[in-house]
């Protein structure tokens, strides 16, 4: 079980990875929209606007989508 105070300390220290989506890129710096707001980070390995990324320690790493999940309407 995690402690909310411990989790907050980890987030403030930059040790917790945060998921987001790239909203713009310029000169290797990406603006990433996360649940905690928009952050500017260095993009590792390149990427495009709209890519899903994980942000940790001021760097963003692209997340590979495993498979496309089919959608069924009932």
Range of the domain at 39: 17-62
Residue 2's pLDDT band (cuts 50, 70, 90): low
In a domain, 56, yes or no: yes
The torsion of the CA quartet 33, 35, 38, 42, rounded to 10 degrees, works out to -70
Indicate the number of domains in the chain. 1
CATH code of the domain containing 41: 2.30.30.140
Q: Give the pLDDT score at 21.
A: 92
Model confidence at 16, pLDDT cuts 50, 70, 90, reads low
Position 7 scores a pLDDT of 72
């Amino acid at each position: 079980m995690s402690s909310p105070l411990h989790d907050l300390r980890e987030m403030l220290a930059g040790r917790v990875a945060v998921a987001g989506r790239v909203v713009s890129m310029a000169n290797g710096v990406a603006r990433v929209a996360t649940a905690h707001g928009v952050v500017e980070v260095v993009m590792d390995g390149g990427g495009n606007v709209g890519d899903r990324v994980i942000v940790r320690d001021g760097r963003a790493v692209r997340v590979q989508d495993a498979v496309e999940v089919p959608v069924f309407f009932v």
